[in-house]
Amino acid sequence: MSYSQLNDIIKSSKNILVISHINPDGDTLGSICAMSEIIRNNFKKECELLCVSKIPKTYEFLPNISKIKTLESFDKSREFDLVITVDVAAPDRMGDAKILFDKAKSTTNIDHHKTNKGFANLNIIDPDASSCGEVLADIFKGLDWKINLETATCLYTAILTDTGSFRYDNTTEKALKSAADMIAIGVKPSEIYKKIYESSSKNHVLFQAYCISKTEFCENDKVAYTTVFKKDIEKFNAPEDCTEGLTEKLRAIVTTEIAFVVRQLNANMSKVSMRSKSKDVAEICEVFGGGGHKLAAGCVVKCSVEDTIKKILEEIKKREI
Ligand code: AMP
Ligand code: MN
Ligand code: MN
């Protein structure tokens, strides 16, 4: 059973690094912070945490979040006994932290993306789980590791954010039971809800309103998309995670089947966030080397924003919508 293999490998590893994915969300951050707490409490050892992107202010309340280092403050020549990735669908989602993953004596990949191909020595992937946080809750319970309030706060945050506050179709009985377990430990849902969903800056909300106001529609309004340019982010002084939740707002329109947001990374590189009501958008994103879940996926395209839109629309039009 892979759970006990995880127990053994953590026990025998002196130095451990946990890596989250680039442009982190509540699931990968809740998961990395939960791993830090559980390893400290159950194995009496400190692990190290790494994320290549800036941590959104929204998640500053998570226990252990200040332990997360960026690659700039990390000695890249180091070699770890064990590197664990959480919520990382594919190796390139680690960004340049992959250098440390590739050198590790042993690697573990804990995830829930259906497109995850199992790139580590030990792979614990549950595509039926709502979130990586739910996978971790199963592991911790399965191994009888004590979940304290700090760990529960992290896992609840992971499940809450990846289910879109318990609204998406990954809101299963098991996901809710896992979240309820965390509430039984002492997590206060309304406090976490306020920290995540009612703590946006004025600039952030006004920026999203601007992006929504220039939404384009096609295919009888079944496709809705908008763009996010660097100059606009600067103009509004919007935060790094300014696009978080934006695609969902376009999907909220009754006629929308597929919604996407194209964000300019640089002149020839764009990030696509795609959502749908029933069509498989992970499959569309995989065409561009990305992936994710059936109804929520993403990819990075080596093109300008305009060319990326053209290519994505071409792929969408090849399918029945
Ligand atoms: P996002 O649109 O960035 O919120 O991502 C939606 C979902 O797709 C999340 O579960 C991501 O982890 C996943 N995803 C986003 N970009 C990629 C990518 N390039 N490769 C694989 N999965 C991705
Ligand atoms: Mn994620
Ligand atoms: Mn996730």
Task: Give the position of tokens 């318990």.
Answer: 166
Same domain, yes or no: 236 and 125: no
Domain boundary among 174, 197, 220: 197
Question: DSSP letters of 32-95?
Answer: HHHHHHHHHHHHS---EEE-SSPPPGGGTTSTTGGGEEPGGGS-TT---SEEEEES-SSGGGGG
User: What is the CB < 6 Å shell around ligand 1?
Assistant: 89-90, 93, 273, 290-293, 296-300
**SS3 label, residue 317:** helix
Same domain, yes or no: 188 and 236: no
> Per-residue pLDDT for the chain (321 aa), expressed as one digit of tens each?
579 999 999 999 999 999 999 999 999 999 999 999 999 999 999 999 999 999 999 999 999 999 999 999 999 999 999 999 999 999 999 999 999 999 999 999 999 999 999 999 999 999 999 999 999 999 999 999 999 999 999 999 999 999 999 999 999 999 999 999 999 999 999 999 999 999 999 999 999 999 999 999 999 999 999 999 999 999 999 988 899 999 999 999 999 999 999 999 999 999 999 999 999 999 999 999 999 999 999 999 999 999 999 999 999 999 988
Same domain, yes or no: 54 and 114: yes
> Ligand 3 center to residue 286 CA distance, Å?
17
pLDDT confidence of residue 1: 55
Could you tell me the CATH number of the domain that includes residue 241?
3.10.310.30
Same domain, yes or no: 112 and 180: yes
Cβ atoms within 10 Å, residue 150: 20
**Measured between alpha carbons, how far is 185 from 189 in angstroms, rounded to an integer?**
12
Same domain, yes or no: 206 and 192: no
pLDDT confidence of residue 81: 98
Instruction: Provide the angle, in degrees to the nearest 10, between the axes of the packed helices 132-142 and 2-12.
Output: 80
Query: Which protein residue has the closest C-alpha to ligand 1 atom 2?
Result: 273
Domain boundary among 197, 232, 259: 197
Same domain, yes or no: 18 and 83: yes
Q: Which of 21, 25, 260 to mutate to test the pocket of ligand 1 (most atoms within 8 A of CB)?
A: 25
Same domain, yes or no: 168 and 305: no
Domain residues for the domain of 56 are 4-197
Could you tell me the CATH number of the domain that includes residue 50?
3.90.1640.10
Same domain, yes or no: 59 and 16: yes
pLDDT confidence of residue 2: 77
Same domain, yes or no: 118 and 188: yes
Query: Which protein residue has the closest C-alpha to ligand 1 atom 18?
Result: 290
Look up the pTM and report it: 0.92
pLDDT confidence of residue 96: 97
Q: Which tokens go with 274?
A: 């795609």
Query: Which protein residue has the closest C-alpha to ligand 1 atom 20?
Result: 290
Same domain, yes or no: 46 and 78: yes
Domain count of the chain?
A: 2
Same domain, yes or no: 191 and 309: no
Domain boundary among 197, 217, 248: 197
Same domain, yes or no: 148 and 100: yes
pLDDT confidence of residue 321: 85
